[in-house]
Amino acid sequence: MTETAPERVNGHVKPQVSLLKFAPETTAEPAPPTVEEVPDVLTETIIDVVANAEPRPVDPPTAGREPGSWLAEKQAYLAEAPPVVPTFLRNAAEFVDAARWTVSYYAHVTAFHALRAPVYLARLLLRAPRGTWRLIVRWGKWVADTEARPVEAKAAASADIEAWLALSREHSRRVRPRRIASLAVATSTGITTIVAGFLVPGWTLTAYVAAAAVTGCFGKKGDKPLITRYVATNVLRRLDSTEVFDALAAIGIEGKKGRRGVEFASEAMRDGPGWRAEVDLPPGVEATAVLEKRAALAAAMRRPISTVWPEADRTAHPGRLVLWVAQRDPAKAGRKLWPLMKDGQADVYEPLPYGFDPRGNLIEITLMYSNLLVGGIPGSGKTSCALAIVLGVALDPTAELWIYELKGSGDLDSVKPICHRYVSGDEDEDLEAALAGMRSGIAEYQRRAAFIRSLPASEVPEGRKVTRALAQKYPEQNLGPRVIVIDEVQELFTHADYKDEAAALATRLIKKARAYGIILILLTQNPDAPSLPTSVSSSVGTRLCLAVMDWRANNNVLGTSAYERGLRATDISIDEQGTGILARGREGITVRAAFIKQTEAEDIAKRALALRTAAGTLSGQSVGALVEELDVETIVDHVQAIWPGGVEAVHSHRLVEALATYRPDLYRPWTEMDATAASTALSTALKPFKVSTRQLQIRECCGGAKGLRYTDLPAVEEDE
C-alpha cells in the first residue's frame, strides 16, 4: 500500500487558509524580463493564517537565581527596612518631649475633672430620687419574680393544669426566700441607720451622701451625660484608605478602564501630630497633578486646606505621592517656641533654627554661602520671618549685622544695640545709606578675596572661601560673616534715581560675595517684576515665598516654573501669617516662622548683646563709632555696570547720560556741561586706569564722536 506524505505549506500540515500568488502561466516562451519587470515576475506573496494558534510568549523564560541575587535582595530590603527601635525611643529629646506632653495631658484631665467634682456630686444628688425609685422597682420585680409571670399565664390560658402547678410550686420556692431575705436586710439596715444617726452623725451623713450618689448613678438620662466633656472642634477624624481613594477619584486621579489604579505603597500610619499615607498613583500620573489640585483634594476630603499637605517623593519615583493630614488644624494649634528663645547661641556657618513645618518638626535655614530672598503681600507675616532670621544671626557673636529697614516702622529696633550699622526710614538719605552699605559689602568681599587668593592651597582645602577655621586663625583679618539685611527693598528697586545701581550692586553681591562670608538678605512686599529685577531674583540661592496673589509673583520669588512644579504660595491664606514655601534649588517645603513677640525679641537681643560684650565683638554703631561705608568701585566698574550687552562701542555722551542715571551723586554734574566738556570729563576720569577714548563712527547712533570700545575696558576679574 502506498502512502502519501501530507502536503505542507509553510511548515503546516493541512493549513486552514492558504493564499498563493504564482507567476502567470504562458504558452509561448516569454521574452527575457527587463530589470524593472523582475520584481513583478519573480515576487511571491504568501499569507499564512493558522486557526486556533496558541499565543507565543514574549517575556524571557524565568531563569534560576543568579549568583549573589539573594544577598542583593537582602541588601535592598535592609536599605528600606523600618527602624527596629521607634524614633521616639532612639531620640532622647523626642522621648522627653513625648513623655512631658503625656504627663501634662493626664495632669490637665485630672485637674479639669477634680475642679468640677462638686458639680458632678450635685448632679448625682439631684438624680438620686429617680435612681432610688428605679432601684426599688427593680428590687420589687426581683422579689416578686415577675419574669415567670408570662410563662404561668400561658400555662393557665392553655388549661395545662400540670404545667401550671409545677410552675406555681417553682415560683413559691424562689419567691419565699427572697421575701425573707429582703425583710431581714431592710430591718437590719433601718435599725443600723437610726442608731448610727444618733451615735456617729457625721459618718452617717457621709454614708447618706455616698448612698445617694450611688443611687444617682442609676438615675442618669441618656441625653444628659454626668461628666462634662470637652468637644475639640479642630481635632479631625482619623485618615483611612477609603477616604484617600474617594478623594483622589473625586479630583480625577484614578485608573483608566483595564489599567491599574491608585495603590498604597505602605499602610497609613501615624506621623507626628497627624497621619501619613504613601500612594502610588496610576501609571503615567505624576504626583504634581495632585499638588496642583490641593484645594480640590481638601474639599473632597471635607477637611481644612491647612491640614492637607500632599507632596511628591522623588526618591521613589515621580508617581509616588506622600499625603500628610494633620489631626489638628495647624492654623489653630498653639504656638511652638523658637529653640533659642530662652538660652543658647547660634552659628551662622551652620543652619539656623527658623520655624516649623506642618508636622511640627523644626526647620532650619542656611545662610552661609547663600543669600536669601523673602517675598509676600502686605500682612503675610514678613516681620515674623525677619525677626526669626535676624535674631538667629544676632546670637552669633562673630557675625556683623548691617540692617536697613526701609519702611521706617521700627520692626527690627530690638537688635539695634548690637548692629554694626542700623538705618530705619524711607527717605532718600536712608535709601542712599542702603546703597552705600552694598557698596561697602563689595569693597569688603574684594578685600577678603585678595587675602584668600594669597593663601596656599593647604590652608583652603575646601576651596577658596571663608570658613570658621580661617576666621579663627586670622582674627586680624576680620573674616566673620557680614549679614546685610534690606527690608522693603522694593523702595530701592523702584526708585527712579537708584534702581539701576541697586539692581547692579545686589546682583554683584549675590553672585560673588557669598563665598567670602558676605550674605545679602532682601525682603519685599511687592514681589512683582518691576519691584524685583530678574538679575536679582534669578541669582538668589535660598528663597522664601509667603502668601502671594498670583502665579507671576510666586515664580518671581521661587523661580521660573516653580508654580508648575507644585510650589504654590498662592494656596497660603493671608491669615496664616509667617507661613510660606522655603526653597533652595528646585525643591521646597512649607514652613511657618517661629512667632517671636517684640518683648521677647528685646530679651533675646539683650542676651545677644551680653554675648558680644563678653566676646569683644561689638563694633560700629553699637559702640558709638561712625561707620565709614567704603566704596572701592571705580569709574571703570561703573562703566562696565551700565554697558549695554552685545554692543561693541558707545559714544561718550551716551555713557555720561547712563552714568548720571546710575550714580547721580557722582556724575549728575557732568550732564550740566555741554557735550564736549562732558566727553572730556569722562576721558580725564578714565586716564588713570589707562583707558582712553577715541573717535568712533557709529551709524546707528549719531555718526562720528568720541567714545569707547568695550575691548578698551580692562577684563573683569572672575575670581572675585
Nearest by Cα to 112 from 231, 229, 234: 229
Tell me: pLDDT of 437 over 60: yes
Identify the helix (H) or strand (E) that includes residue 263. strand 263-264
Question: Is 664 labelled a binding residue?
Answer: no
What pLDDT score does 37 carry?
Answer: 46
Question: Is 441 labelled a binding residue?
Answer: no
Question: Is 379 labelled a binding residue?
Answer: yes
Work out whether strand 421-424 and strand 400-405 pair parallel, antiparallel, or are unpaired. Answer: parallel
Using one digit for the tens of pLDDT, what is the confidence trace for 641-654?
A: 888 877 888 888 88
CATH code: domain 356-623 is: 3.40.50.300
Q: How far apart are CA 514 and CA 657, in angstroms?
A: 32
Question: Is 382 labelled a binding residue?
Answer: yes
Using one digit for the tens of pLDDT, what is the confidence trace for 52-98?
A: 666 667 666 655 556 557 777 777 777 777 777 776 677 776 677 77
Q: How far apart are CA 395 and CA 390, in angstroms?
A: 9
Q: Within a 10 A sphere around the Cβ of 141, how many other Cβ atoms?
A: 12
Query: Domain residue spans in the chain?
Result: 93-219, 241-332, 356-623, 635-712
Rounded mean pLDDT of the chain? 81
Contact 355, 591 (CB under 8 A): yes
Burial class (CB in 10 A: 0-12, 13-18, 19+), 562: buried
What letters, b where the CB count within 10 A reaches 16 and e where it falls short, cover 178-203? eeeeeeeeeeeeeeeeeeeeeeeeee
Same fold: 241-332 with 635-712: no
Question: Is 180 labelled a binding residue?
Answer: no
What pLDDT score does 366 carry?
Answer: 92
Fold of the domain spanning 241-332: Threonyl-tRNA Synthetase; Chain A, domain 2 (3.30.980)
pTM over 0.85: no
pLDDT band at 18 (very low <50, low <70, confident <90, very high): very low
Question: If you compute the radius of gyration of the chain from its CA atoms, what whole number of angstroms results?
Answer: 43
Question: Is 102 labelled a binding residue?
Answer: no
Q: Find residue 175's DSSP bridge partners.
A: none
Question: Is 378 labelled a binding residue?
Answer: yes
What pLDDT score does 9 carry?
Answer: 47
What pLDDT score does 4 carry?
Answer: 46
Question: Taking residues 686-709, what's their average pLDDT?
Answer: 79
| Single-letter code of the amino acid located at 613 | T
DSSP sequence for 378-404 = TTSSHHHHHHHHHHHHHT-TT-EEEEE
Worst-scoring range by mean pLDDT, 359-363, 433-437, 599-603? 359-363
Nearest by Cα to 522 from 409, 357, 400, 367: 367
483 contact partners, CB below 8 Å, separation of at least 6: 348, 367, 393, 399, 400, 401, 402, 519, 521
Q: Is the dihedral of CA 671, 491, 600, 307 positive or negative?
A: negative
Question: Is 376 labelled a binding residue?
Answer: yes
Fold of the domain spanning 635-712: Arc Repressor Mutant, subunit A (1.10.10)
Tell me: pLDDT of 51 over 70: no
Using one digit for the tens of pLDDT, what is the confidence trace for 397-420?
A: 999 999 999 988 888 999 999 999
